[in-house]
Amino acid sequence: MKTFLENLEALSLARGTSGDEGAVKKLIYDEVIGYPDCVAKTDNAGNLIVFKKGKNKPKNRLMFSAHMDEVGFIITHIDENGFLKFSNVGGIDSRVIIGKRLLVGENAIPGLLGSKAIHLVKEDEFKNPVKTDSLYIDIGADSKEEAEKLVKLGDRAVFDSDFEKFGEDCVMGKALDDRAGCALLMELLKEEAEYDITVCFTIREEIGGNSAGNAAFTVDPDIAVVVEATSAADVPCVPGEKFVCKQGEGPVVSFRDNGTLYDMELYRFIMELCKEKNIPAQTKHSICGFNDAKFIHQARGGIRPVAVSLPARYIHSPYASIRLSDAENTAALLKILSTKLCEI
């Protein structure tokens, strides 16, 4: 049984853009199938659904959810000189991707995300972010025929990023949104459960897909807890009211985002529970983004939604960072919720 950090590293290094999450799903399945009292299956949409038998039947059927997919690129054209044109898969800031190493296609061919040389950039172009359609991927091929032996249209590309610790309490790696959420739910599945729970590892969140809604329809819970990694903008040049959340201050419990108005009774219950259990917790200081709760809470006749997020800096880039102390406190909260939300 792997540790949280071992699982997180393996998940971060795995390649799994939206719609191509198979490698990530296999990693999770191979690990959790060995956990006590866990039964796993894949639904028709492609979500991995894990049922964990508890000691008791819950008053409220409880579902936890985290998405497996990551942002990346999809190959749309190969030109006569062997360069690859692409479209983004999910929201990626073009300012941070030029010159980055990529892994391309099923065989993880090394590539480089290129643009025209800086001395060819016109003065007015410096005033605006570079457009993705002016960029290309260089895989070292000299011709279209040579490139086509290595890559085909529809292949995916992901950032070629390491996973490593830095500072006293931080780790960095790609796709921590939301592989960190997946790793936290794997921790939850390791432990003996007081009540039956279901954990869903979902797909296609980064492209705004409804796959989590499919999972929720299948599971039919009363309450759903979405476990995410959310933007921590607590960095220089950002005013405090725009921080969204801060690293080092524990899990983020949402009352609203751009996709969901969360159940206020459950929001207040969780914040009070954190005080009672001495778990540091915070809420979002700014309303931004959305997650799988947008689709989950609309499934069937309606599901009471909760979002518990891990503060992460630099998401949707070649490297994101989280604090291990935040992960530890989030894991503690999720364990408590796996009991308390079943009882209320």
**Residue ranges covered by each domain of the chain:** 4-70+174-343, 72-159
Instruction: For residue 250, count other CB atoms closer than 10 A to its CB.
Output: 23
Average pLDDT over residues 105-111: 97
> Which superfamily is assigned to 72-159 in CATH?
Peptidase M42, domain 2 (2.40.30.40)
Q: State pLDDT tens for residues 185-236.
A: 999 999 999 999 999 999 999 999 889 999 999 999 999 999 999 999 888 8
DSSP annotation string for 84-108: EEEEEES---GGGTTT-EEEETTTT
Instruction: For residue 92, count other CB atoms closer than 10 A to its CB.
Output: 18
Query: Looking at the predicted structure, is the pLDDT value of residue 241 above 90?
Result: no
Q: State pLDDT tens for residues 274-330.
A: 999 999 999 988 777 889 999 999 999 999 999 999 999 999 999 999 999 999 999
Distance between CA atoms of 248 and 264, rounded to whole angstroms? 25
pLDDT number for residue 120: 58
Query: Cα dist. 277→200, 207, 246, 273, 344 in Å?
Result: 26, 36, 20, 6, 17
Lowest mean pLDDT among 11-25, 157-171, 243-257, 315-329: 243-257
Query: Looking at the predicted structure, is the pLDDT value of residue 124 above 80?
Result: no
Beta strand pairing call for 84-89 and 72-78 = antiparallel
Average pLDDT over residues 100-115: 96
**Residues 71/206, Cβ–Cβ less than 8 Å:** yes
3-state helix, strand and coil shares in percent for the chain, rounded to the nearest 5: 30, 25, 40
DSSP annotation string for 9-64: HHHHHS--BTT--HHHHHHHHHHHTTSTTEEEEE-TTS-EEEEE--SB--SS-EEE
3-class DSSP state of 4: helix
Active site residue ranges = 205
Q: State pLDDT tens for residues 28-56.
A: 999 999 999 999 999 999 999 999 999 99
pLDDT number for residue 126: 65
Distance between CA atoms of 39 and 312, rounded to whole angstroms? 30
Domain range 4-70+174-343, CATH class: alpha beta
Predicted confidence band at 127 (pLDDT cuts at 50, 70, 90)?
A: low
Distance between CA atoms of 73 and 18, rounded to whole angstroms? 10
Beta strand pairing call for 109-114 and 136-138 = antiparallel
Query: Cα dist. 43→36, 40, 48, 284 in Å?
Result: 21, 10, 7, 33
Question: What is the distance, to the nearest Å, from the Cα of residue 72 to the centroid of all Cα atoms in its chain?
Answer: 12
pLDDT number for residue 123: 63
Tokens of 303: 């599901």
Higher pLDDT, 330 or 115: 330
